[in-house]
């Protein structure tokens, strides 16, 4: 297993859309900062453009994160690339274009140390299963689809998406993301469960129950020191955060005190 797979001190810190507290989400600046901050892995959301390009955009529409309008899947890559995705926290847009997943993949592979990718496929979308098929095709082109490197994980709130991903690339580690309580059945083909921090706050015993099912647990989005302490106390395996440097330092300090 790689260093990126194991994480420091056994607890992984994943940068949520990059170091997105400090830079616009899903931009090269955010991901390069996350790598510099020592994140074990980079989280991204992927969608398909109208012409089948895999782009890193969270929302169904582009209004929140760009100076344009429209649905991602209805815009071609050329149309998306003409938009400014550098707007952030009410500041003027700053000249960042839409990020292709392949560009992020190359950035992670060229980091000079093992840096993982945690890739969420967004649903529902008009692309349907083509989204997972294109993601696996891209990973296969880089020799990463069999999961042997330990560098890539796939994530989704959609059980159907996880099922498709398993059929296409059964070796890829999968994460079932959760906003509500997990049903009694085990999530399909997933070795990890990903509850949101609000759910963990309301039901701290959830982490132990998920571990009892044989699942590793990652929690999103963990930015506050009290939430980091709670997750470590409960034995959470992975933290997804907008603040990778601060959270990594806090994790190291808290674990050193034990």
Q: What is the pLDDT of residue 187?
A: 66
Give catalytic residues, as residue numbers: 16, 58
How many structural domains comprise the chain?
Answer: 1
Specify if 249 maps to a domain. yes
Asked if 250 and 38 touch (Cβ cutoff 8 Å), the reply is: no
**Dist CA 245 CA 236 (whole Å):** 18
Q: How many angstroms separate the CA atoms of 187 and 95, rounded?
A: 40
pLDDT in 10s for each residue of the chain, 258 residues: 343 445 656 899 999 999 999 999 999 999 999 999 999 999 999 999 999 999 999 999 999 999 999 999 999 999 999 999 997 766 766 779 999 999 999 999 999 999 999 999 999 888 889 999 999 999 999 999 999 999 999 999 999 999 999 999 999 999 999 987 665 556 668 899 999 999 999 999 999 999 999 999 999 999 999 999 999 999 999 999 999 999 999 999 999 888
Question: Would you call 183 exposed, middle or buried from its count of C-beta atoms within 10 A (0-12, 13-18, 19+)?
Answer: exposed
DSSP characters over 89-112: TTBPP---PPPBHHHHHHHHHTSS
Is residue 57 in a domain? no
150: left (phi over 0), alpha (psi -120 to 50) or beta: left
Q: What is the CATH classification number for the domain harbouring 131?
A: 3.20.20.190
Residue 12: inside a domain: yes
Is residue 229 in some structural domain? yes
Which residue's structure tokens are 């999968």? 174
Domain of residue 190: give its range: 3-50+99-256
The answer to the question of residue 56 being in a domain is no
Domain membership flag for residue 36: yes
Q: Is residue 79 part of a domain?
A: no
Q: Is residue 83 part of a domain?
A: no
Inter-residue contact 50 to 73 (CB < 8 Å): yes
């Amino acid at each position: 297993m790689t260093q990126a797979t194991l994480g420091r001190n056994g607890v992984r810190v994943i940068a949520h859309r990059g170091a997105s507290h400090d830079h616009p989400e899903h931009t090269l600046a955010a991901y390069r900062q996350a790598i510099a901050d020592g994140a074990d892995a980079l989280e991204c959301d992927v969608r398909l453009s109208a012409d089948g390009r895999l782009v890193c955009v969270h929302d169904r529409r582009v209004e929140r994160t760009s100076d344009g309008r429209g649905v991602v899947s209805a815009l071609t890559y050329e149309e998306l690339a003409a938009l400014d995705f550098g707007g952030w926290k009410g500041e003027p847009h700053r000249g960042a274009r839409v990020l292709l997943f392949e560009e992020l993949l190359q950035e992670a592979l060229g980091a000079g140390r093992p840096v993982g990718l945690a890739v969420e496929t967004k649903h529902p979308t008009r692309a349907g299963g083509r989204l997972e098929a294109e993601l696996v095709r891209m990973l296969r082109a880089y020799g990463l689809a069999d999961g042997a490197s330990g560098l890539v994980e796939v994530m989704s709130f959609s059980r159907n998406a996880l099922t498709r991903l398993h059929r296409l690339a059964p070796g890829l580690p999968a994460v079932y993301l959760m906003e509500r309580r997990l049903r009694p059945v085990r999530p399909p083909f997933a070795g990890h469960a990903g509850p949101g921090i609000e759910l963990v706050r309301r039901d701290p015993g959830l982490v132990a129950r998920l571990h009892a099912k044989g699942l590793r647990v990652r929690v999103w989005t963990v930015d506050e020191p009290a939430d980091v302490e709670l997750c470590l106390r409960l034995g959470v395996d992975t933290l997804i955060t907008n603040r990778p440097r601060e959270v990594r330092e806090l994790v190291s300090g808290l674990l050193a005190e034990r």
